[in-house]
């Protein structure tokens, strides 16, 4: 939802000049949109299917395609590197001091709890938050 809102705002007439700086052609706009979606999805580090797809793309781009200098492989490499940067920035708060961790974790909880309240999440995060934080540290940090 937030990605759709951001895209809708970017497409407003008052942002024509900004859009022309970001992309000049329809092809570039589609590539930019694809990149935004990939980066947004990259923040979901708990989704096993997405993680498997990222690992497969990494293999195709940097292992199998080590000598592939095509534009498609360059785009694949750039996307994967940006996804990893996005993941790093998304979990960076967890490696900071306790007060910063608490600040961002409380905000994240509030966002997830709001999702539960409006029906986007089936289970109350109060029930699983503590265990999921421990699992997150064990597997991702």
Q: How far apart are CA 48 and CA 8, in angstroms?
A: 29
The model's confidence at residue 24, banded by pLDDT at 50, 70 and 90, is: very high
How distant is the alpha carbon of residue 1 from its chain centre? 13
* Percent of the chain scoring above 70 in pLDDT: 97
pLDDT value of position 90: 77
Handedness of CA 114, 101, 82, 43 (dihedral sign): negative
The model's confidence at residue 7, banded by pLDDT at 50, 70 and 90, is: very high
Q: What is the pLDDT of residues 30-61, one digit of tens each?
A: 999 999 998 988 888 777 888 898 899 899 99
Residue 60 per-residue DSSP state: I
Higher pLDDT, 133 or 29: 29
For residue 54, count other CB atoms closer than 10 A to its CB: 20
User: b/e for 14-24, b at 16 or more Cβ within 10 A?
Assistant: eeeeebeeeee
pLDDT value of position 141: 66
What's the whole-number mean pLDDT along residues 74-99? 86
Q: How far apart are CA 106 and CA 86, in angstroms?
A: 20
């Amino acid at each position: 939802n937030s990605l759709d809102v951001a895209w809708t705002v970017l497409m407003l007439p008052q942002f024509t000049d900004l859009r022309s700086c970001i992309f000049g052609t329809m092809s570039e706009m589609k590539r930019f949109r694809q990149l935004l979606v990939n980066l947004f999805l990259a923040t979901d580090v708990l989704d096993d299917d997405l993680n498997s797809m990222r690992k497969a793309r990494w293999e195709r781009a940097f292992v199998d395609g080590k000598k592939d200098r095509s534009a498609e492989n360059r785009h694949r490499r750039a996307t994967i590197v940006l996804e990893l940067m996005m993941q790093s920035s998304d979990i960076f708060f967890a490696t900071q001091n306790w007060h910063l961790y608490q600040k961002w974790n409380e905000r994240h909880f509030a966002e997830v709890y709001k999702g539960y309240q409006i029906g986007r999440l089936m289970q109350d995060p109060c029930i699983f938050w503590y265990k999921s934080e421990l699992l997150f540290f064990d597997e991702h940090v």
